[in-house]
Chains A and B, each alone.
Chain A
């Protein structure tokens, strides 16, 4: 029954995704002739460009592309699949870098706060976490750009080179800082609830050290929920961090999406909409499945 429900849900998601993709693509590609104004294209050659595709035509193209994984070519003549594959590597590297630093510091800070159990220490981290979550990511990106490139000149202003971690630091910090804040707030709240549980009280009365209670029992209890949080963050990172990639000229999926919108690249836009939709959907469903496995709660 659950498998049937899940299949119906996925099928209806795919149908609606393809319809929405076609509508958004048809909106974007209207009157794209002006892009060729200065290119020397002759009047008679414009006839094929003048034909504006209807949403139904675009829908059938989207269905064909989805089932045969053939998205055609980009405006520059490159295959859409190879274009996306080329950008997947930097996107994956950046996403895993962000998740690594975000989860490491987030977990470290909340464990320290729980371990030392100091009001001022906790308030300090909590204040900064809330501050971070209520500030747009691009402001951090700009501030880090000003400090580390314009002022100190330590790090490159943008771009990406395989194997060179310095290109990942600024975009990674801009994106990771929110993950640190989210994991800190979530981890602290969950751990505080856990401290009040009968198990921890018994451990305390039996004289277990704070080290063992925090780093073994509380940490292992909270970890599964933090993993779910990390998977949800990873799903949005894999869909492309458009604004940060644009600020740092990072050649990932996000920058590619922005370029596709600006250049009215129908095939690329369609492929990226379907790609980000499916990645996000599958990861969130996986996170829910994991949540069910770990907590035995299902909707």
Chain B
């Protein structure tokens, strides 16, 4: 489903069946599969399928860039907070304070100050979810730093940078991947929510959230049209969460069936 999202986003860059912003007053509320409109049209006669396709660009872009921001913010803060040295406690408290800030509110404030755009939405979602990632990652890193193999690495003369790079980051990676896949899913939802509220993607760029907002007024008359963007959002969110689980299993050799993990497995007595 994730691959499908990225693929549709790519395809829509080059081609959509109709211009997603083209208003055709002669054919409003066409049912699906009529007049070449796969999913029909909305009240202004705009092609729904084309809008969905074009909206996937915003969704994919927001999700991926927000996840990158969240990863940088999360891992950075977590390392600063987890590695025992002066100031670590301070960073840990800072994370706790930032976690209390609601992501959507942050986005709205940013949008109010700097104007609603994809950039502010990405920054707000990335930072807002990044501190949550940081909190989870810090707890995980602290437990890794307390293990015998980290002590063993210190006994073998390894420095802090080396230990973080060689032992801590790989061991928290599975948790991070799951967290970041949740961030991807959250970012899709948050972007849709922001656009729905009018704080995200400015018109006329099509976005799933704004489609929902535009169409919700007609839900009692044309219930089907609202289904499409809603379904798209739900499927993509589901896709990102299941991607996280799959990646986690692929990364952690302990979760792999014996024999496939390493060729050495069969020869061991």
Verify that A and B bind, or say they do not: no
- Which residues of B approach A to under 8 Å, CB–CB? none
